[in-house]
Amino acid sequence: MKNKITDLFGIKYPIIQGGMIWNSGWRLASAVSNAGGLGLIGAGSMYPEVLLDHIKKCKVATSKTFGVNIPMLYPNIEEIINIVIQQKVPIVFTSAGNPKTYTQRLQSHGIKVAHVVSSVKFALKAEEAGVDAIVAEGFEAGGHNGREETTTLTLIPMVAKAIQTPLLAAGGIATGQSMLAVMLLGADGVQVGSRFVASEESSAHQNFKQRVVDSEEGETILTLKELAPVRLIKNKFYKDLENLYQKAPTKKELKELLGRGRAKRGMFEGDLEEGELEIGQVAGQLESILKVEEIIENMIKEYNEARRKVVEGEI
Amino acid sequence: MKNKITDLFGIKYPIIQGGMIWNSGWRLASAVSNAGGLGLIGAGSMYPEVLLDHIKKCKVATSKTFGVNIPMLYPNIEEIINIVIQQKVPIVFTSAGNPKTYTQRLQSHGIKVAHVVSSVKFALKAEEAGVDAIVAEGFEAGGHNGREETTTLTLIPMVAKAIQTPLLAAGGIATGQSMLAVMLLGADGVQVGSRFVASEESSAHQNFKQRVVDSEEGETILTLKELAPVRLIKNKFYKDLENLYQKAPTKKELKELLGRGRAKRGMFEGDLEEGELEIGQVAGQLESILKVEEIIENMIKEYNEARRKVVEGEI
């Protein structure tokens, strides 16, 4: 499975674990890297000192390469950038901001930079900023998401055609079949989120993990588009939002209902009613909480089995 | 490429042309059937006598099998059903309604019935109704669409797992690569819409065809969810809708703005400003208006080339 992405990051399989808030601590990231993928610590839900602690623990837990995901709208962004540089974190995935801002500075310290986009337009901007890899994420992805609503199936071929930079597909991928599918469409690898939420090593609350594997097709929705579009499970909090939407709310009213700490409350503290439960559409495919090692082994088995079907003419 | 779908319909390639309103007359349907796919006449925009005329002309234009797509909310539905039975149309695709209503009656006349769904739940209902094939259509598809907003990439594996009935994937498919991709996910074939809109044989207005091939990623949106969700190009009519949405409109106000005949005005009469321009996200991938024969040849070439890459270990 050697390709542009495995070469770039020095990993065995072109499988990146998305650095998701409240889910992606050192346990998850190191487990993914140890299993042959690339684990990312999710800085988006960590104070700088918490991130520093996770980076240090991750280094102890794996001798393999790992990275940090940094949403650039983070209030302590300068401090976070300094920590990853000082700690010589080898790989940084940036999202939610302008890739020009930090790419060169990080690269000048030998850090490989990937940037997450949701459209062809932003993929071109990321390439112009000189990033080492681009993650193109479709509408089906969990959590914060693009405004274009382009799905992974349609987005990947268009981005692949527009850029030369190594490309990771994200959104809707939890199996080896879907991994091979997006690679046929032009991706060099995948970024997987939801599947790793429902892993033993994820730092999500057990209630949330269970809710994810219990959920069925059609249970998530992209909402709060007036603030920042986010895909979540339709729970009580979402019903409250829906009721508010009936009244044509202002942004301020939406912000007030959202309040602070909803995502933490839902995903980290396990409040399935009042919390914000961010997850992708692919949650409907997940049936059990697995160890990271099993998740990656399954994906590779499925990928090889899908390849075999093509090779032997079954498809 | 012999499989469940080619056997069921007696066609060469498992490529179905969606029976789209204002686009799918006898010229398009017969051209697709002559090129080895399955052409469908779109009854949704035809008065009964117009449909009868198209069926008769289609029979003259091709000796191959063809079908009719019937949206079951059609006001003259009984008349339409009688016409396809009397005319011995071999295949009917139904959509937008309960598959129990007509499936058995059509089948008792030797007609094969496929039904279009947008969710696992409706796929199970279609299977229960005894349809011969199920089309599962994702969020990226053009025109009228499901409320679950599940994308093709995530929907197909879930539907494939839930049902035994032969399965066609729809939404986001315009190339042989995406055809192979969805077949890896469990589909037995594809239903293609947008790509055939931009064909020489489509009955769409030249202005609309050109607008489709000129459009880029992010130019379509799923809107009018309060009435019936529909994916269309963001033109002046959509901007007017958007302005109305700012004022928290009632359903009645939305219906008033929509008015009557918008789809005809846009797609058939070529009014790109005031018309409703229904098309899928995959329009962003289309570059030129092609002959149906070329479209199908290209898809098969791309499909074989994608298979070759897998067989030779490039992917």
| Domain membership flag for residue B245 | no
Q: Which of A118, A140, A149, A153 to mutate to test the interface with B (most CBs of B within 10 A)?
A: A153
Which stretches of chain A are DSSP H helices? 4-9, 26-34, 48-61, 77-86, 103-107, 120-128, 152-162, 176-184, 194-197, 206-214, 236-245, 251-258, 262-263, 292-311
H or E element in which residue B126 lies: helix B120-128
pLDDT in single tens digits along all 315 residues of chain B: 899 999 999 999 999 999 999 999 999 999 999 999 999 999 999 999 999 999 999 999 999 999 999 999 888 999 999 999 999 999 999 999 999 999 999 999 999 999 999 999 999 999 999 999 999 999 999 999 999 999 999 999 999 999 999 999 999 999 999 999 999 999 999 999 999 999 999 999 999 999 999 999 999 999 999 999 999 999 999 999 999 998 889 999 999 999 999 999 999 999 999 999 999 999 999 999 999 999 999 999 999 999 999 999 999
- Side chain identity, residue B292: V
Does B239 map to a domain?
A: no
Q: Which of A65, A293, A101, A299 lies closest to A201 in space, CA to CA?
A: A293
pLDDT tens digits, one per residue of A125-134: 999 999 999 9
Output the pLDDT for position B3.
96
Nearest-neighbour CA in chain A from B233: distance (Å): 12
The enclosing H or E element of B241 equals helix B236-245
Distance CA A49, CA B12 (A): 63
Size of interface A-B (CB pairs under 8 A): 150
For chain B, say whether A134 makes contact (Cβ under 8 Å): no
CA B156 to chain centroid, in Å, comes to: 16
Residues written for chain A: 315
The residue of chain A with its CA nearest to that of B223 is: A149
Q: Say which residues have a Cβ less than 8 Å from residue A294's Cβ, sequence separation at least 6.
A: none
Confidence band (pLDDT; 50, 70, 90) for A75? Answer: confident
pLDDT score at A207: 98
The strand order across the sheet containing A133-137 reads A15-17, A189-192, A167-170, A133-137, A112-117, A91-95, A66-71, A39-42
Which region holds residue B78: left if phi is over 0, alpha if psi is between -120 and 50, else beta?
Answer: alpha
pLDDT at B102: 97
| ipTM for the predicted complex | 0.98
Q: Residue B151 domain-assigned?
A: yes
pLDDT digits over A253-300, tens only? 999 999 999 999 999 999 999 999 999 999 999 999 999 999 999 999
Q: Is B215 inside any structural domain? A: no
Q: Looking at chain B, which residue has its C-alpha nearest residue A219? A: B148
Report residue A291 CA to chain centroid gap.
Answer: 18
Q: Would you tell me which residues 27-56 of chain A have a C-beta closer than 8 angstroms to some C-beta of chain B?
A: none
Instruction: Tell me whether residue B210 is in a domain.
Output: no
Partners of A171 on chain B (C-beta within 8 Å) are: 151, 153
What CATH number does the domain containing A302 carry? Answer: 3.20.20.70
Helix (H) or strand (E) holding B240: helix B236-245
The structure tokens 């949206």 sit at B71
Q: How many domains does chain B have?
A: 1
How far is it, in rounded angstroms, from Cα A252 to Cα B101? 48
- Is it the case that residue A212 has pLDDT exceeding 90? yes
User: Which residues in A lie closer than 8 A to residue B154 (C-beta atoms)?
Assistant: 140, 172, 217, 280-282, 284-285
Percent of chain A with pLDDT over 90: 97
CB atoms within 10 A of CB B308: 12
| Per-residue pLDDT at A22 exceeds 90 | yes
Dihedrals φ, ψ of B250, to 5°? Answer: -80, 165
Q: Are A262 and A236 in contact (CB under 8 A)?
A: no
The closest alpha carbon to B159, from B142, B146, B176, belongs to B146
Dihedral class, residue A309 (left if φ above 0, else alpha if ψ from -120 to 50, else beta): alpha
Say yes or no: B172 contacts chain A, CB-CB below 8 A. yes
> CA-to-CA distance for A267 and A257, rounded, in angstroms?
18
Which pLDDT value is given to residue A74? 84
Residue B63 lies in a domain: yes
Tell me the one-letter amino acid at B223.
Answer: T
Give the residue from A125, A80, A85 showing the smallest Cα distance to A108: A85
Residue B179 domain-assigned (yes or no): yes
Q: B40, B58 in Cβ contact below 8 A?
A: no
Burial class (CB in 10 A: 0-12, 13-18, 19+), B86: exposed
Which positions in chain A touch B311 (Cβ < 8 Å)?
310-311
- Which pair of structure tokens corresponds to residue A48? 């700088």
Take residue B251 and report the two structure tokens written for it. Answer: 């359903």
**Residue contact A150–B217, C-beta within 8 A:** yes
Q: Is residue A234 part of a domain?
A: no
Write down the pLDDT at residue A95.
95
Q: How many angstroms separate the CA of residue A35 from the nearest CA in chain B?
A: 21
> In chain A, positions 179-238, which contact chain B (CB-CB < 8 Å)?
180-186, 216-218, 221-222
pTM score over 0.95: yes
Residues A130 and A170: their CA atoms lie apart, in Å, by 20
Establish how many alpha carbons lie within 13 A of residue A25's alpha carbon, considering only the half-sphere containing its beta carbon. Answer: 16
Domain extent for A58: 4-203+283-311
- Decide: residue A280, CB within 10 A, 0-12 exposed, 13-18 middle, 19+ buried: buried
pLDDT per residue as tens digits for the range B211-244: 999 999 999 999 999 999 999 999 999 999 999 9
Rounded average pLDDT over A173-195:
98
